[in-house]
Amino acid sequence: MKKHKKLGTFFLTLGVCSILILSMVSTSLAKNPKVAPRVSITSPQNGAKIYEDSLDVIVDFGPKEKGKGNVRTIKLKLDAKSVATHDNPAQIKEGTHTFKLDITDLPDDKHTLQAFAYQAEERAMLEGSSEIVTFTFTSIARQIAKIEGSLISGSWEDLTMAAETLKEIGKPAVPKLLIAFKDPSKNEILRKMYLEILAAIKDSSAVGPLIEVLQSSTETEFVRAEVAFALGEIGDRAATQALIQSLSDESKQIRTSAALGLGYIGNTDAVPPLIEKLSDSSADVRIGVIRALGLLNDPRAIEPLMDLLNDESETIACAAILALGFLKDNRAVDPLLNILQTGTTEKQIRAIESLGEIGDPRAVEPLIAFLENEDEYLVMESGSALAKIKDQRAAEPIRMAIERVTDEFIKTELKEAYKTLTGEEYQE
């Protein structure tokens, strides 16, 4: 009997303990439920364009319900292949982790990223997964190397494609392009190509480093001259003073490029020093200065340019004639009309072009008279100029010139001038 009592007490105690254990387990599960955690990739954004050879992937993780469940392991997959794993310390419920990936050897193409988070060991199947993030990778370093390789191999198609890719990348490519360009061990033609890409990108961050090269005493004349021109193409006014200083460089090549660069930048602070250089000892520099003054379109240049219309160098005179056309100032009309009567054929052609650009009606009758000239090229240029002036008095004379000229190309150009002037197709 006592034995049965003891057995009963034992089983009762065992039952109570079991209930207590189950209760404790239940409480533990309630506090730390075995569920898959949440996980997401916060950087890079979906659709991002990546250019550097290293990539930081930021993963955010935590329980699906705040405070419930730890996150033990984070795994990252690139193009569906596991590339990195991170194990959290014990009792970590939420946070972020940054994976630093070396993607140097990754092909230039679209790629995918996906993150996974585990509350327990991976085999426990308590796995949370992020949305797939897609990014496009283009290696700047690889494109720069491709330009060099293509130049050596003579593959101009590959070279052009790499250059265009770098231009499309734009500002992110500037630091590496500057490093490549400033390397004195590189071929000068290759450096010029890098410089042309920098000029096309037109990012102001390149201006300071390029000015350093322009003012360097160890750089070659060729490179410095190319830099002066490129600074103009970039168009940042911050380069103005450096280019003005370069107008006094001992190299005529650098002085010429500096003048043109100032014209492209468009800062009229450069007009007075450019006017001073109209008397430069080099004809090339003077032509560069004349073109720059035309581009700057400042009325202070009118008189100095008109003084050059009878220069002993026809090349200088023609450059001045064209620059006056850019300036579109009516003060130049009478001197240009005089050139129609007294100038050489080359000067007459340039004067006709500039009169068309200026658009003053005083030029209409003299240009109509040139439609009967024996030189059909002068006839063509006169028709084009009259079309720009848009004075309808020229319509019938242009029509008659079309019937009179024999050169088919010139006939076609005159027909185009007639259409521009009248808004109608020429009828045979």
- Rounded to an integer, the average pLDDT of 183-209 is 96
- pLDDT of 30 > 60? The answer is no
Domains 297-358 and 362-428 agree in fold: yes
- pLDDT of 106 > 70? The answer is yes
pLDDT over 70 for what percent of the chain? 90
Least confident range of 62-66, 76-80, 221-225: 62-66
C-alpha to C-alpha distance for 39 and 60, rounded to whole angstroms: 6
Supply the pLDDT for residue 124: 54
- Rounded to an integer, the average pLDDT of 342-369 is 96
Q: What class does CATH assign to 297-358? A: mainly alpha
Is the CATH number of domain 38-137 2.60.40.10?
A: yes
- pLDDT of 385 > 70? The answer is yes
- pLDDT of 192 > 50? The answer is yes
Supply the pLDDT for residue 427: 87
- Rounded to an integer, the average pLDDT of 375-398 is 96
- Rounded to an integer, the average pLDDT of 101-120 is 94
- pLDDT of 346 > 90? The answer is yes
Q: What is the CATH T-level fold of the domain 362-428, as seen in this structure?
A: Leucine-rich Repeat Variant (1.25.10)
In terms of average pLDDT, the best of 11-15, 117-121, 342-346 is: 342-346
- pLDDT of 120 > 80? The answer is no
Supply the pLDDT for residue 176: 97
Of 248 and 29, the one with more pLDDT: 248
In which band, very low, low, confident or very high, does the pLDDT at 329 lie, cut at 50, 70 and 90?
very high
C-alpha to C-alpha distance for 193 and 334, rounded to whole angstroms: 45
Of 23 and 195, the one with more pLDDT: 195
In which band, very low, low, confident or very high, does the pLDDT at 91 lie, cut at 50, 70 and 90?
confident
pTM above 0.85, yes or no: no
Of 151 and 124, the one with more pLDDT: 151
- pLDDT of 215 > 70? The answer is yes
- Extents of the domains making up the chain: 38-137, 297-358, 362-428
Supply the pLDDT for residue 97: 97
pLDDT tens across 290-320, in order?
Answer: 999 999 999 999 999 999 999 999 999 999 9
- Asked whether 162 and 143 are in contact (CB, 8 A), the reply is yes
Supply the pLDDT for residue 125: 64
Supply the pLDDT for residue 34: 63
Supply the pLDDT for residue 12: 44
- pLDDT of 29 > 90? The answer is no
Phi, psi of 271 (to 5 degrees): -60, -50
Provide the mean pLDDT of the chain: 91
Residue that is written with structure tokens 């550097």 in the block: 52
Supply the pLDDT for residue 90: 86
